[in-house]
Amino acid sequence: MFIFSAFYQLLRLLLRPRLVLVTENLALRQQLVVLHRSANRRRLRRRDRLFWIALSHLWQNWRSVLIIVKPETVIKWHRQGFRCYWRWKSRAVQVGRPKINLEIRELIRRISRENLTWGVPRIQAELQLLGYEIAESTVAKYRVRHRRPPSQNG
């Protein structure tokens, strides 16, 4: 029986393409490295996990040589990476309108402090003359509001 099994293995290796044999050898060597690295408990590093995820995409028969973890674990790692990638990809970059530069905000405040009688449209017109395209609502948001004296009616 042993001779028949050995002959079968030899025939199988001769008929296999060389790339498959090299890939299987690489997978087995990687598992040996993990086993030699950790004495009591198998600790897989991130690069080990990435290796098995990549191998699962590149080689169809990767499950047959995997010994140190279950194939479902490799699939779970891949799903976690996929979720992490899409969470990163779809993160909120910036919501709303872009912020106005601090220089322009300070300019709006300075103009409104130095010209107490100017309203929002006048300040916006002056900023346009200086080359800044800013909406009236933005000028109204950043201008300095002056306290008016209480009315004499009241």
For the chain, percent helix, then strand, then coil, each to nearest 5?
Answer: 65, 0, 35
pTM of the model: 0.47
CA distance 117 to 89: 49
CA distance 50 to 146: 62
pLDDT tens, residue order, the chain (154 aa): 667 777 777 777 777 777 777 888 888 888 888 888 766 776 788 898 888 888 888 888 888 888 888 899 999 999 999 999 999 888 877 777 778 899 999 999 999 999 988 999 999 999 999 999 999 999 999 998 876 666 677 5
Write out the two tokens for 14: 């001769």
